[in-house]
Amino acid sequence: MLRKILIANRGEIAVRIIRACAEMGIRSVAIYSDADRFALHVKKADESYCIGSEPLAGYLNVYALVDLAAATGCDAIHPGYGFLSENAQFARICKERGIVFIGPDADVIHRMGDKTEARKAMIAAGIPVTPGSDGNLDNVEQALVVAESIGYPVMLKATSGGGGRGIRRCDNAEELQRNYQRVISEATKAFGSADVFLEKCVINPKHVEVQVLADHHGNTIHLYERDCSIQRRNQKLIEIAPSPQLDEAQRQYIGGLAVLAAKAVGYTNAGTVEFLLDDKDRFYFMEMNTRVQVEHTITETVTGVDIVEEQIRVAAGLTLRFKQHEIVRRGYAIQFRINAEDPQNGFLPSFGRISRYYAPGGPGVRTDTAIYTGYEIPPYYDSMLAKVIVSAMTWEDAIKRGERALKDMGLFGIKTTIPYYLEILRHPEFRAATSNTGFVDKYPELVNYSNKPRPEVLASVIAAVMAAHTGL
């Protein structure tokens, strides 16, 4: 078993990995920039080391991180998500230095990170993909020819893209010509690659993804699916497990496709195979994320499997602790990404000091976060502050629990997406579990919620002021 792990990340995912290490008796090593010197993951790890004054450079310095892991006696690195988590060079250098990379092999990361290579692999495995270009596009003229053959609208995508970046919908030839250089520029800046390809746009599909686990002994299983259809500009906001929109036959079918996809590329560790489901109930492979997902929490909730712990065990060479027939779903879980954004002001970031914070609690509520009262949110990183996860035996009860938990949560000093999520939970289409990826654009009026303080939050503020005044 591994003895000491360097966590090449920050924020709530770093805290999540630190907790898994603590339960497994593994020492954890945190890293931080000057902007993160007061971050919670720094306080919770067994050891913490500054990686420089620049907010981002240290988190992205492959060689410096591997050197630090070696110097501190770590036998493994966990990349979390974002940053270097899907960087094949990082995984390759770890292997060269004799340090375990907690994730798939570098060649697999490279292959699945290249969207055109991933499409080819899935086609060879017999997995349905959306019609599109055979490979990377050479120029805009070629893009126009392909688009004409498959029909508009089309999606112009960066080959190395992810996280909603490097992607544009084009409804006609003029938009494709206008967006071509934009996507190339964005892809080059964000991913260091100018390669782009084209896919047929599936209009307002359901976004369904499957969590897979695979070890080095030939065992591959799925942990069922998640519905990630509630998203804005290709960024997920609310995730659900399992999807309340699938029947059992669809669930088994898509789970089988995900396992087949993982086996086809020799995948190991935790990964997610993402699909689009159109209005004719046809599934199409979209991409494979070769890392732990932000929304892994809801899969853990409904299956009872600790995905991060399984990641560490697999990296250590151990077999999966579960067979497919042993994975049993229980109820529904919903995750809300609590972002420091102002929905009523175009979702602009709302960074600053958290003057007071109260986490929601009670039955069926989990909060993954790295914030605390007095924490100053740095403006250099992702706007996600916390993940609130609720679970219940029925879909209706999960919605009710979500409302209660979001109302329980007190987060002051900044704007957040909490009131917007409450409006979504109250919407008939969401409650009927018929939403697709067009939901947010279809109902822009949901951001017009009242700014009047919620009664339960107002009461907590009054209580806090009284306590401070009386010295209690």
| Burial status of residue 356 (CB atoms within 10 A of its CB: 0-12, 13-18, 19 or more) | middle
Cα 303 off chain centre by: 18
* Residue partners of 54: CB distance under 8 A and separation at least 6: 33
Q: Rounded CA gap, 91 and 315, in Å?
A: 12
Q: What is the rounded CA–CA span in Å between residue 189 and residue 58? A: 18
Please, which contacts does 63-66 make with residues 24 or more away whose CB atoms are closer than 8 Å?
Answer: 63/93, 65/6, 65/8, 65/31, 65/90, 66/90, 66/93, 66/94, 66/97, 66/99
Return phi, psi of residue 179, to 5°: -90, -15
Helix (H) or strand (E) holding 273: strand 269-277
426 flagged as catalytic:
no
Cα–Cα distance between 165 and 169 in angstroms, integer?
A: 12
Of the residues 119, 168, 251, 291, only one is catalytic, namely 291
Which residue type is seen at 352? G
| Cis-peptide, bond into residue 79, ω within 30° of zero | no
Q: Which run of H or of E encompasses 271? A: strand 269-277
Integer Cα distance of 411 and 252 in angstroms: 40
- Report the candidate in 281, 262, 171 with the shortest Cα–Cα distance to residue 211: 262
CA atoms of 223 and 171, how far apart (whole Å): 36
Q: What string of DSSP letters covers 392-436?
A: ESSHHHHHHHHHHHHHH-EEESS--SHHHHHHHHHSHHHHTT---
Intra-chain end-to-end CA distance of the chain, in Å: 48
282 token code pair: 């046809």
Half-sphere exposure of 282 (CA within 13 A, CB side): 10
| Token pair recorded at residue 414 | 């900044």
Q: How far apart are CA 378 and CA 23, in angstroms?
A: 30
Task: Give CA–CA dist 139/367, Å, rounded.
Answer: 47
- Beta strands in 106-260, from DSSP E residues, in sequence order: 154-162, 165-170, 196-200, 206-214, 220-232, 235-241
Beta strands (DSSP E) in 304-424 are 332-339, 341-342, 348-349, 356-358, 365-369, 384-392, 410-412
Question: Could you give the residue numbers annotated as active site?
Answer: 291
